[in-house]
Amino acid sequence: MKTTDSNAKIPIGVSACLLGERVRYDGGHKHDVYLTDTLGAYFEYVPVCPEVGCGLPVPRESMHLVGTPDDNRLIGNKTGTDFTEPMRAYCERAIGELRSRRLCGFVFKSKSPSSGLFRVSLYTPEGQPTPQHTSGLFARAFVKAFPNLPCEEEGRLHDPALRENFIERIFALKRFREEVAAAPSVRALQTFHANSKYLLMAHAPDGATELGRLAAAATAENLCATVADYEARFLAVMAIPATVGRHVNVLQHMQGYFSEQIAPQEREELAYVLDEYAREQTPLIVPITLFRHHIFKCQCDYLMRQHYLYPCPAELKLRNHA
């Protein structure tokens, strides 16, 4: 089963140095092999280097942020030059250009005073580090412009749970754009929600219910506003990390559709495998694989259409960690 209707690569913004481009202050790069060699098979990267974009050379003096978490300036470490206004002008220009690229996500370079998304260090005017942290100027402007878009730092993608959540959100957004936003209709929205029900439940059951009400209330008259509202709320729900408990709840709900059609011994096997997963002794892919087997054997049409069963390409092995 395909994850989406299209094999087109997904447009993703990325800090250019992570692709191996030599744009860092010292003329080097921070090539991330996972991004290029693994995710590169599915993502079409749109590289961004704010420093080069605002006219700074390579190499250049290093910089840091001075001020408070909400009000800081980009200062050269050696000369004390204030690069804030050129950077802000670049951010405004770049974000305008990136809107046309219809990005489905962004991977930022950690710790960067322009592109760091989390815990970027703050300094005093004298150049001394403070205990406070913020985000880089470009990352902050990007998130403000695209508040619901999946965004992460390359370092955090080494955490299996964070990686799974980020990539799952990207593929979910791609599906929504292909199945609903590309040709909006009441039926398309309601069908998408029905097929996303269990995926949403794994992240936030209450959010899934709220989205169900929103989709059910869609009419030809309010369709445009409803689709936009649904997309924003959908991405907000998907951003809530799924948990073992909620996955177990989803699988138990799904089992109710075919439990009476399988043998007692098969029900016992399902219970055993689900318990092993609940105790975190086995990865999610184990019960998922067994459930897929019974769902397709019993030809449960409603469950066979669920995005929960195939949220991302199997080759990414996102559900293979315990």
pLDDT digit string (tens) for 215-271?
999 999 999 999 999 999 999 999 999 999 999 999 999 999 999 999 999 999 999
The vertex-304 CA angle with 303 and 309, nearest 5°, equals 85
Length of the chain: 322
pLDDT in tens, 152-164: 999 999 999 999 9
Q: In whole angstroms, what separates CA 145 from the centre of its chain?
A: 16
pTM over cut 0.75: yes
| Distance between CA atoms of residues 102 and 94, nearest Å | 13
| Distance between CA atoms of residues 255 and 249, nearest Å | 10
Residue 322 pLDDT grade (very low, low, confident, very high; cuts 50, 70, 90): confident
The one-letter amino acid code at 58 reads V
**14 Ramachandran zone, left/alpha/beta (phi>0; psi -120 to 50):** beta
**pLDDT for residue 4 is more than 60:** no
| Distance between CA atoms of residues 217 and 210, nearest Å | 11
- Name the 3-class secondary structure at 67: strand
| Distance between CA atoms of residues 179 and 305, nearest Å | 13
What tokens were used for 35? 């991004």
Whether the ω angle into residue 287 lies within 30 degrees of 0, i.e. cis, is no
Q: What is the pLDDT of residue 7?
A: 75
